[in-house]
């Protein structure tokens, strides 16, 4: 007979957080080392739900803002435009 799985508060917290972040049941099951159906059953039991499609998470305010022209923010701004791949006009972040 299979051994009964005992859920801990830590495992429940991981399951709730992963589901709230939009992870699939397959990825949650792999993360916890259980079967997909075990993760689904436990998630339903503790009320772990996906956020609605129009949910926008709150920004992380503990991180300091990036300065103008930082490669991360500049790359996101110009991705898919005619400026893609061009450096920021001010050479402050010239990485050559």
Q: What is the pLDDT of residue 94?
A: 55
Per-residue pLDDT tens over the stretch 22-58: 889 999 999 999 999 999 999 999 999 888 888 777 7
> Is residue 85 one of the residues assigned to a domain?
yes
Q: Could you give the number of structural domains in the chain?
A: 2
- Residue 78 belongs to what domain range? 66-96
Q: Angle at Cα 54 formed by Cα 29 and Cα 40, nearest 5°?
A: 20
Per-residue pLDDT tens over the stretch 19-30: 988 889 999 999
Regarding whether 70 and 42 lie in a shared domain, the answer is no
Contact 42/8 with Cβ under 8 angstroms? no
Q: Which helix (H) or strand (E) holds 87?
A: none
pTM above 0.85, yes or no: no
Contact 46/17 with Cβ under 8 angstroms? no
> Is residue 59 one of the residues assigned to a domain?
no
> Is residue 54 one of the residues assigned to a domain?
no
> Is residue 32 one of the residues assigned to a domain?
yes
Q: Angle at Cα 13 formed by Cα 7 and Cα 16, nearest 5°?
A: 105
> Is residue 38 one of the residues assigned to a domain?
yes
């Amino acid at each position: 007979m299979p051994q009964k799985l005992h859920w801990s508060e830590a495992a429940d917290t991981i399951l709730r957080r992963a589901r709230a972040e939009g992870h699939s049941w397959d990825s949650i099951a792999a993360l916890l080392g259980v079967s997909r159906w075990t993760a689904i059953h436990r998630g339903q039991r503790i009320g772990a739900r996906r956020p609605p499609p129009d949910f926008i998470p709150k920004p992380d305010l503990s991180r300091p803002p990036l300065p103008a022209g930082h490669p991360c923010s500049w790359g996101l701004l110009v991705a898919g435009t005619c400026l893609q791949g061009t450096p920021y006009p001010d050479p402050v972040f010239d990485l050559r």
